[in-house]
Amino acid sequence: MQVAQSKAIPREPTRPLGVARPRWGERAIVAVLFLCGLLSVATTIAIVLSLLQPVLDFFAEVSPGEFFGSRDWAPLFNPPSFGVLPLLVGTLVTTFWALVICIPFGLGAAIYLSEYASDRVRRRVKPILEVLAGIPTVVYGFFALTFVSPLLQDVWFFSDRKPDLFNALAAGLVMGVMILPTVASLSEDAMSAVPQGLRAGAFALGSTKLQVSTRVVVPAAISGIVASFVLAISRGVGETMIVLIAAGNNPNFTFDPTQPVQTMTAFIGATGIGDVPQGSIGYKTIFAVGATLFAITLFINVVAIRLVRRFREVYE
Amino acid sequence: MSTTSASRYAITKDAAGKERAGDRLKARVFQALLFFSLALGIITLAVLLIQVLMEGWPRLNMDLLTNFPSRRPANAGAQSAIFGTLWLMGIVIATSLPLGFGAAIYLEEYADPKRWYNRLIELNIQNLAAVPSIVYGILGLAFLARGPFGLGRTLLAGGLTLTLLVLPIVIIAGREAIRAVPNSIRQASFALGATKWQTVSRQVLPAAIPGMATGAILGLSRAIGETAPLILLGALTFVTFNPDGLTSQFTALPIQIFNWISRPQAEFKVLAAAAIVVLLVVLLAMNSVAIWLRNRYYNRPW
């Protein structure tokens, strides 16, 4: 380093000029900090390793054809049945209803915050959204079960049969509200990054605010917005407590949201409550379903990260 | 803003100067829909808070804080759960802050982003931030409670699992705080002959502390409310003693809430609501501190 060099010149001509005294303390600090960073890689490796062996054990007993093909999920029954499809469908249904809430309303809130709201409103509202995002999911689960689900039963007019107290719809809708702040804040970030010149240009051509918002700002920010949607899917697929509490824990191959269902996460949670003996088939199913869940969310996350990166390249 | 007046002009007049009522109506409806989108979240939050408060009101008393869990709802309290949560917080603070901020310093101050291993670390952190919390529970079960570490169903296993869970949040927040420190401060420090670490530890970190504190609080509040991974770790839900060390068995507030929710008797639902109020009060207090810190230091002159 240049600093050490200038100090060394007058008194110690023993070392060739231009070579700094090695600073071992500094190097040790960098090494320690690097290890902190490396811990994240170690975590991922540990996740994969901890899933791998039990999954291999599981598929030694259950054929992949049955796991991904059968419509029956009853791992603890006799005879057992290991079709993961009902859990996948349960995840699909609850996530779908979450998206029905969080995508339109999250995007709407983002457009309002980015294009319409005054600075004062923005400063007041954003902390509220953060509080909403910070509410523990067990609380949302309680809310879904004791408020939203009875409310749905009271106001149900779509069919004669009222929804069960435990149903996919209530869990999904509440999950949507839980994810809404994520969509709103990520989409708003993307829209704020759209250069002011684009808006000014559109206004100069006589566009209304509505036209500028929907035909200039949203298209320009689209990859960031889509990334927020993709991340919302990942959150919905991975959410555990709301569905564990409110969706009914009934591995049911149905797309009817008024029925109780069980998601992949809820199965893992429900099976993990008891003390599952290591090596038992119940223990292995946790890992088989967990690995499926991890693979799905990993795929979704990589798509989202790529989209965010593309959107960053455009405006930075 | 200049754009506002321009748009108002464009809405009311077309080229011929005539009012276009249809357009104006459309604009009004659109804006109303946007406003409703924003309001939906806020209304839900308000309804949720009111509902929980009303439901839990009969049991919001000192018994809730001082009694231990019981099979009889009238006597049940959450003392052991509250102490379990406090212990977990201690473990998470002691481990996630040094590790998370260490990684943040490395990535912002030292790492060369062109190196593949640094890019790998970064990609990893982004992905880990979005891994479902229950997967961390599986990791904790297989790696910490059993397997290589074999810690059993102890506070330490629970706390370390939560640490892994919140690390990405702490790292990302720490990086943002460090990035916000202007480069001129670093250059001034170098110009005075400081080494890299002297610059980082005595100039950059003190300047980044409010932002890092905000990130730490956010990570911690995530850890307080997290339930799913602890369920998998078998955090016992019927613990009638306070933890007395890192290897003690434990329960935590969200676990206790979940346990009460899943009981059939209505009295336990009331207890659950009351415990939720306690949890939310703690979280809202932490959130307010985080927001206050951020607003206070957001626009400071460097």
List the 12-71 stretch of A: residues with Cβ below 8 A of B: 23, 25-26, 29-30, 32-41, 43-44, 46-47, 49-51, 54
Contact of B69 with B256, CB cutoff 8 Å? yes
- In angstroms, the separation between the Cα of residue A225 and the nearest Cα of chain B is 16
pLDDT of residue A53: 86
**Which of the two residues, B148 and A192, has the higher pLDDT score?**
A192
Average the pLDDT over each of A23-37, B41-55, B57-71, B218-232 and give the range with the smallest value.
B57-71
Instruction: Answer yes or no: do B110 and A298 touch at CB < 8 A.
Output: no
Contact of B279 with A136, CB cutoff 8 Å? yes
pLDDT of residue B2: 43
Taking the C-alpha atoms of residue B20 and residue B225, their distance in angstroms, rounded to an integer, is 52
| pLDDT exceeds 90 at position B17 | no
- B79-105 and B205-225 helices, crossing angle to 10°: 140
Q: Where are the domains of chain A?
A: 2-61, 74-315
pLDDT of residue A13: 55
User: Within its chain, how far is the Cα of B181 from the centroid?
Assistant: 23
Residues 6+ positions from B31 with CB-CB distance below 8 Å: A112, A116, A210
Which of B261, B56, B222, B275 has the alpha carbon at shortest distance from A144? B261
- Mean pLDDT, chain B, as a whole number? 86
Query: Was domain B62-298 assigned CATH 1.10.3210.10?
Result: no
pLDDT of residue B302: 55
Taking the C-alpha atoms of residue A145 and residue A246, their distance in angstroms, rounded to an integer, is 5
Residue A10: which pLDDT band, with cuts at 50, 70 and 90? low
One of 1.20.1250.20, 1.20.1630.10, 1.10.3720.10, 2.40.30.20 is the CATH number of A74-315, namely 1.10.3720.10
Residue B188: which pLDDT band, with cuts at 50, 70 and 90? very high
Which chain B positions have a beta carbon within 8 Å of A127's beta carbon? 287, 291
Instruction: Answer yes or no: do B41 and A129 touch at CB < 8 A.
Output: yes
pLDDT of residue A311: 59
Residue A302, both tokens: 């990589």
Which of B95, B67, B71 has the alpha carbon at shortest distance from B81? B67
Within an 8 Å CB–CB cutoff, is residue A172 touching chain B? no
- In angstroms, the separation between the Cα of residue B121 and the nearest Cα of chain A is 6
Q: pLDDT tens for residues A232-271?
A: 999 999 999 999 999 988 888 888 888 899 999 999 998 8
E-assigned strands of chain B? none
Angle (CA) A181-A265-A152 rounded to 5° is 60
Which of B242, B235, B268 has the alpha carbon at shortest distance from B83? B242
Q: How many CA atoms lie within 13 A of B212 on its CB side?
A: 23
Average the pLDDT over each of A10-24, A67-81, A272-286 and give the range with the smallest value.
A10-24
pLDDT of residue B42: 92
**What separation in angstroms does the CA of B220 have from each of A84, B101, B167?**
35, 14, 10
**Mean pLDDT value of segment B76-95:** 91
DSSP B73-119: TTT---HHHHHHHHHHHHHHHHHHHHHHHHHHHIIIII--TTSHHHH
* Smallest CA–CA distance from A119 into chain B, residue: B1
- A264-273 and A85-111 helices, crossing angle to 10°: 120
* Smallest CA–CA distance from B232 into chain A, residue: A272
Residue B281: which pLDDT band, with cuts at 50, 70 and 90? very high
Enter the DSSP assignment of A106: H
E-assigned strands of chain A? 73-74, 81-82
Residue A12: which pLDDT band, with cuts at 50, 70 and 90? low
Neighbours of B22 (CB within 10 A): 8
**Which of the two residues, B14 and A284, has the higher pLDDT score?**
A284
Residues 6+ positions from A75 with CB-CB distance below 8 Å: A81, A82, A281, A282, A285
Instruction: Answer yes or no: do A297 and B135 touch at CB < 8 A.
Output: yes
Residue B64: which pLDDT band, with cuts at 50, 70 and 90? confident
**Which of the two residues, A152 and A79, has the higher pLDDT score?**
A152
Amino acid at A269: G
Which of A74, A95, A38 has the alpha carbon at shortest distance from A293? A95
**What separation in angstroms does the CA of A245 have from each of A190, B110, B210?**
34, 45, 37
Q: Among residues of chain B, what percentage have pLDDT more than 90?
A: 52
Q: Where are the domains of chain B?
A: 2-59, 62-298
Instruction: Answer yes or no: do A36 and B98 touch at CB < 8 A.
Output: yes
- Range A5-12, long-range pairs (CB < 8 A, 24+ positions): A7/B193
Instruction: Answer yes or no: do A240 and B190 touch at CB < 8 A.
Output: no
The helix/strand/coil state of A81 is strand
pLDDT of residue A176: 96
